[in-house]
Amino acid sequence: MKKISFIILTITTSTLFAQVNTVYNPITERTWMDRNLGATQVATAFDDANAYGDLYQWGRNTDGHQIRTSSTTSVLSAINSPNHSDFILGSYDWLTVSDDNLWQGVNGINNPCPLGFRLPTEAECESERLSWTSNDAAGAFASPLKLTIGGARSRMSGAIGNVGTFVGYRTSSLNGTQSRLFGISLTTSLMADRDRADGNCVRCIQDESSTSIDEIQNPRTLIKTVDILGKETKANSNTTLFYIYDDGTVEKRIVID
């Protein structure tokens, strides 16, 4: 039987950066945040309410509209930063004139992800889906990303529906006036079109360009590796270890065979 190793990596950065916890998929060789934007914890099940996170309109910044209990307005925005926290209703887009330049890459306008992270593309989400053991919510949760199915918010009413049975994950990709969405249900998953004004979950991917968090930080040298008791040790599998660097950063790694 082929053995596959999954690496669960937690990065605790220096005071220059906020703490960002990540997971790595060895099949796709990509690193992601370990939870949805707005989630308070890593999912313990695909219907873990504490891991659902916020619901973003495509291209909007983290301005409060994404909170599940945010107020609503039917007034479309003429600018890409509305300067309010209302969820905008009534049209396929929350903007009076659509802007395809939003959310494009780590330096994209209104990128809601932490420094060094960005919205994934449709192709990146599709690669993750193809690495699952089953093409449904169970497979999504069993993957290193532990994805949840926290529903979606209607652009017409502002109501949140399908919680626990369906979820849409935002991508940076577009198809004409619509955005491309990574949809997951109890029985299947697929890529589909979605109106930009709908509210959907966001899972950020680490950027691999020159602006990624690994290259933003100063070069560092590993000082030592210790176990949970603080005892210096060598790297090995199925053990929680802490890698301590000379720039004050600490990485918590769990390599599971």
3-state secondary structure 21-69: EEEEECCCCEEEECCCCCCCCCCCCCCCHHHCCCCECCCCCCCCCCCCC
- Taking the model in full, what pTM does it have? 0.77
2 confidence band (pLDDT: 50, 70, 90): very low
Query: Are the C-beta atoms of 184 and 200 separated by less than 8 Å?
Result: no
Mean pLDDT along residues 199-218: 71
Query: Are the C-beta atoms of 238 and 257 separated by less than 8 Å?
Result: yes
Q: Which domain holds residue 153?
A: 37-208
Query: Are the C-beta atoms of 191 and 101 separated by less than 8 Å?
Result: no
Name, in order, each residue with C-beta under 8 angstroms of 80's C-beta and a sequence gap of 6 or more. 59, 95, 99, 102, 109, 110
Q: What is the pLDDT of residue 4?
A: 47
Q: Is the dihedral of CA 153, 70, 85, 163 positive or negative?
A: negative
Is 226 part of any domain?
no
Residue 251 in this model has a pLDDT that exceeds 90: no
Residue 151 region, left (φ>0) first, then alpha (ψ -120 to 50), else beta?
left
Mean pLDDT rounded to a whole number for the chain: 87
Q: What is the pLDDT of residue 19?
A: 67
Nearest to 110 by CA among 33, 37, 187: 37
Is 249 part of any domain?
no
Residue 12 in this model has a pLDDT that exceeds 90: no
Percent residues over pLDDT 70 in the chain: 83
Q: What is the pLDDT of residue 257?
A: 55
Query: Are the C-beta atoms of 118 and 111 separated by less than 8 Å?
Result: yes
Q: What is the pLDDT of residue 103?
A: 98
Is 172 part of any domain?
yes
Is 224 part of any domain?
no
Please count the structural domains in the chain. Answer: 1
Is 75 part of any domain?
yes
Return the minimum-mean-pLDDT range out of 35-39, 120-124, 212-216. Answer: 212-216
Return the minimum-mean-pLDDT range out of 51-60, 168-177, 229-238. Answer: 229-238
Is 165 part of any domain?
yes
Is 139 part of any domain?
yes
Is 73 part of any domain?
yes
